[in-house]
Chain A
Amino acid sequence: MISSDRPSQRLILEAGRADRQYWGDIWRYRELFFILAWRDVAVRYKQTVIGLAWAFVRPFVTMIVFTVVFGKLAKLPTEGGAPYAVLVFAGLLPWTLASSILSDASNSVITNSQLVSKVYFPRIIIPFATVMVGLVDFGVSLLILIGVMAWYGVMPDWHILLLPVFVALAVLVAIGPALWAAAMIVKYRDFRFIIPFVVQIGLYVSPVGFSAKVVPPEWQLLYSVNPMVGVIDGFRWAILGGDSPLYLPGFAVSMLVAAGMLWLGIHTFRRTERGFADLI
């Protein structure tokens, strides 16, 4: 017997009992995490005509529209000497990543209700697995960015080496509220209608199509309460380098808010997940 080589475990099931083996279980089920992530990626562009090209088309068209609307029509200023299209794309990248994680992960538990009601595994694996899909699309968009930068002749400096850090931050900013929403959606389906709305509004509230610097200085700190402000600023800092200095107090506020939401997300998810199968 191959599987019984693992040590036998003793397990107590009781109402309201905090599960001490939970984090160990997550490690034990790591393969399920990878396979669910792989499934979501593999299935995403099945039976579409242009397949992965969708990951190119959507951000590219959005970039053109935003550049025309905000840059040419509204004549908003860019940062330093950066072309407006690059500015927009540097904001669009983290925004698309975070918003797709927020919408996919928050719906993930109910879209996988078949699994939740039939087998046990740490439920937190499900929302985290959807992050992979967002990251794959992000990788494709990154190629567009490289193309656009080459087109405009923009050379990144050493700041670009810190880009992975900001990618991780974008994921963390999104996954906190997503976990919270995923847990709430199981109980109250109202949130299914709220999340797309939040994403839609967020696009205009966050500095995606414009520079965060257009917000008056006295409001900068308050503006940074939206954690996406910090993440997008960080992206622009990494990509545009010296042209886009990082506003540190605002960044700190953004990260603090993000950390708070992450804690709330994990906490709420952990507290309610034992009842998921009852409710789903």
Chain B
Amino acid sequence: MSDIVIRAEKLGKKFIIGHKVEYSAILGEALVRSARGILRRGADMLRGHAVVEGDEVEEFWALRDVDFEIRRGEVVSIIGHNGAGKTTLLKILSRILEPTLGRVELNGRVASLLEVGTGFHQELTGRENIFLNGAILGMTRREVLARFDEIVDFSGVEKFIDTPVKRYSVGMYARLAFSVAAHLETEILFVDEVLAVGDAEFQKRCLDRMSAVASAGRTVLFVSHNLAAVAALTRRGIVLKGGRLIFDGPIEDAIAQYSASLSKGKVARDWGRGHHSAIISADLLDAQGLPTDTYEPGTPFNLRIEVETTDMPGLGLELQLRDANNLPVAFYSSSIFSQTPLPSQGRHVCTLSLQPLFLASGDYSFDISTNSLTIVVDHGVANAIPFRVAASSPGGIAYDFKQSLGNGVLAMQLASPLRIESKSPEPA
């Protein structure tokens, strides 16, 4: 019997994505467009294709020509930028998505953790959810029963085990969810970015648990942005970039390769152009001045934007920072806020250093546009610089202030130390 438990050959996955063409305010045009949309979708349906929202449809390869082999007992991490195809790869291996091309051979019972708490039901109690989630992850009732006390113990929510989970705090919920997942025992395990839950103490326990799993001789495939965790847990790394496998080897080299690929800059993109100008490229830079896709909260925002202008004097550059829900967070305009319009002709590299923002962790993006002083957008690029705040800990302790907590996206910082004066007399 072969010792190779996962073999991927020429693996490819194609998605069809739709774009919305800029909205037209003219009723006639809008009607024509929606009529055309109905016709196109109707024709798709007759041919048995899926409905794609949007006015223009495009093919997109999330994964292409990926080959690798993984032996029994190996612990491998998959690293890459946002959108490099990591999750798509895990989803194919765990049979959620079907590959478009190529094949995968799996030997052994597989379990995958693409998120913690899959299928948790708000109305059910902690106890009930342990069984529900366990079954969803592929555990039998017997297995869950055998580990039930361990799971509850690990989660630290014994007192609330018979309370509906909708009454749980975010932290308790996450801890219970991870605890079930952590007790999943299969020959092959896929783990996607599930370590980023709970407080620092719990995260450490999760990491310990993962390294215990990894050293128990099971095959583990591990996706994470947490390079420190990746380096500690695994010895082999696979680097994905734009859907292709660009490196497969020792983890130190993989991390180096990944860091290098970050700074090489993005693939040139054609963003089109406006009447008088065109935004050619835009990057978020790290402290070394190299392009990055992550932002460290509380540090200056360094941006480099390349713009071309043809004939219009007084064009300004505008930035709109948006959160994961596409809601505006902050705004900057070069013509209004700092009276530095763009020269009327030529190619310009604009370097901006903006005051730090203490952003909550999560995904963000900058929309960039050129505007005339009459606030008419000449060339607008939505989502020009997507970036992520991996972790946000205002105050320096390991508490992750997340967008998803719903407390807003900015942590307020004290201008001077907090002073507390007590009015009541000190008890003797």
- Residues of chain A touching chain B, judged by Cβ–Cβ distance below 8 Å, are 1-4, 6, 8-16, 29, 31-32, 35-36, 39, 42-43, 46-47, 112, 114-121, 187-189, 274-275, 277-279
Q: How far does the alpha carbon of A279 sit from the alpha carbon of B16 in the complex, in Å?
A: 10
By the criterion CB–CB under 8 Å, are B98 and A13 in contact?
yes
Please give, as numbers and ranges, the residues of chain B lying within 8 Å of A274 by CB-CB distance. 98
Q: How far does the alpha carbon of A259 sit from the alpha carbon of B121 in the complex, in Å?
A: 35
Please give, as numbers and ranges, the residues of chain B lying within 8 Å of A112 by CB-CB distance. 119
Please give, as numbers and ranges, the residues of chain A lying within 8 Å of B128 by CB-CB distance. 39, 42
- The one of A1, A3, A31 in contact with B135, judged by C-beta atoms closer than 8 angstroms, is A31
Interface residue ranges of B287-309 to A (CB < 8 Å)? none
Please give, as numbers and ranges, the residues of chain B lying within 8 Å of A3 by CB-CB distance. 109, 139-140, 143, 185-186
With contact pairs A8-B109, A10-B105, A43-B121 given, residues A119 and B132 touching in the complex (Cβ less than 8 Å): no
- The one of B45, B100, B119, B132 in contact with A15, judged by C-beta atoms closer than 8 angstroms, is B100
Interface string of B128-145 (1 = CB under 8 A from A): 100110011111111100
Q: How far does the alpha carbon of A10 sit from the alpha carbon of B5 in the complex, in Å?
A: 9
Q: B372 on the interface (CB 8 Å rule)?
A: no
Nearest-Cβ distance from residue A186 to partner chain B, whole angstroms: 9
Please give, as numbers and ranges, the residues of chain A lying within 8 Å of B136 by CB-CB distance. 32, 35, 115, 119, 121
* Surface stretch bound by A, among B88-96, B201-209, B221-229, B333-341: B88-96
By the criterion CB–CB under 8 Å, are B106 and A119 in contact?
no
What are the nearest 7 A-B pairs in CB distance? A120-B95, A13-B104, A14-B103, A35-B135, A11-B106, A274-B98, A46-B123
By the criterion CB–CB under 8 Å, are B118 and A115 in contact?
yes
Nearest-Cβ distance from residue B113 to partner chain A, whole angstroms: 9
Say what secondary structure dominates the interface of chain A: mixed
Please give, as numbers and ranges, the residues of chain A lying within 8 Å of B141 by CB-CB distance. 31
Please give, as numbers and ranges, the residues of chain A lying within 8 Å of B380 by CB-CB distance. none
By the criterion CB–CB under 8 Å, are A43 and B123 in contact?
yes
By the criterion CB–CB under 8 Å, are A277 and B97 in contact?
yes
By the criterion CB–CB under 8 Å, are B97 and A119 in contact?
no
Q: How far does the alpha carbon of A122 sit from the alpha carbon of B101 in the complex, in Å?
A: 22
Closest to B141 in A: A31
Please give, as numbers and ranges, the residues of chain A lying within 8 Å of B105 by CB-CB distance. 10-13
Please give, as numbers and ranges, the residues of chain A lying within 8 Å of B96 by CB-CB distance. 116-120, 277
By the criterion CB–CB under 8 Å, are B114 and A118 in contact?
yes
- The one of A29, A121, A189 in contact with B51, judged by C-beta atoms closer than 8 angstroms, is A189
Interface residue ranges of B28-66 to A (CB < 8 Å)? 45, 50-51
Closest to B8 in A: A13
With contact pairs A42-B124, A279-B50 given, residues A2 and B112 touching in the complex (Cβ less than 8 Å): no
Nearest-Cβ distance from residue B10 to partner chain A, whole angstroms: 11
- The one of A2, A8, A188 in contact with B143, judged by C-beta atoms closer than 8 angstroms, is A2
By the criterion CB–CB under 8 Å, are B106 and A13 in contact?
yes
Please give, as numbers and ranges, the residues of chain A lying within 8 Å of B137 by CB-CB distance. 119
By the criterion CB–CB under 8 Å, are A120 and B112 in contact?
yes
**Number of residues of chain B lying within 8 A (CB) of chain A:** 48
Can you list 17 A-B pairs with a CB-CB distance of less than 8 A? A2-B143, A2-B185, A4-B186, A8-B108, A11-B106, A12-B106, A13-B98, A14-B102, A29-B138, A35-B135, A36-B135, A39-B128, A118-B115, A119-B96, A119-B112, A119-B137, A120-B94
Q: B21 on the interface (CB 8 Å rule)?
A: no
- The one of A29, A31, A115, A279 in contact with B119, judged by C-beta atoms closer than 8 angstroms, is A115
By the criterion CB–CB under 8 Å, are A187 and B109 in contact?
no
By the criterion CB–CB under 8 Å, are B107 and A10 in contact?
yes
Please give, as numbers and ranges, the residues of chain A lying within 8 Å of B92 by CB-CB distance. 13
Q: How far does the alpha carbon of A232 sit from the alpha carbon of B357 in the complex, in Å?
A: 67
Please give, as numbers and ranges, the residues of chain A lying within 8 Å of B94 by CB-CB distance. 119-120
By the criterion CB–CB under 8 Å, are A188 and B99 in contact?
no
Q: How far does the alpha carbon of A95 sit from the alpha carbon of B425 in the complex, in Å?
A: 74
Please give, as numbers and ranges, the residues of chain A lying within 8 Å of B27 by CB-CB distance. none
Q: How far does the alpha carbon of A13 sit from the alpha carbon of B141 in the complex, in Å?
A: 28
With contact pairs A4-B187, A6-B109 given, residues A35 and B131 touching in the complex (Cβ less than 8 Å): yes
Q: How far does the alpha carbon of A180 sit from the alpha carbon of B92 in the complex, in Å?
A: 25
Q: B15 on the interface (CB 8 Å rule)?
A: yes
Most B-side CB within 10 Å, residue of A14, A112, A188, A189: A14
Q: How far does the alpha carbon of A145 sit from the alpha carbon of B97 in the complex, in Å?
A: 47
Q: How far does the alpha carbon of A114 sit from the alpha carbon of B139 in the complex, in Å?
A: 18
Beyond the given A4-B109, A120-B96, A277-B96, could you list 17 further A-B residue pairs with CB under 8 A, ordered by the A residue number?
A: A6-B109, A9-B107, A11-B105, A31-B135, A31-B140, A31-B141, A35-B131, A39-B124, A112-B119, A115-B118, A116-B96, A119-B94, A119-B114, A119-B136, A189-B51, A275-B50, A278-B50
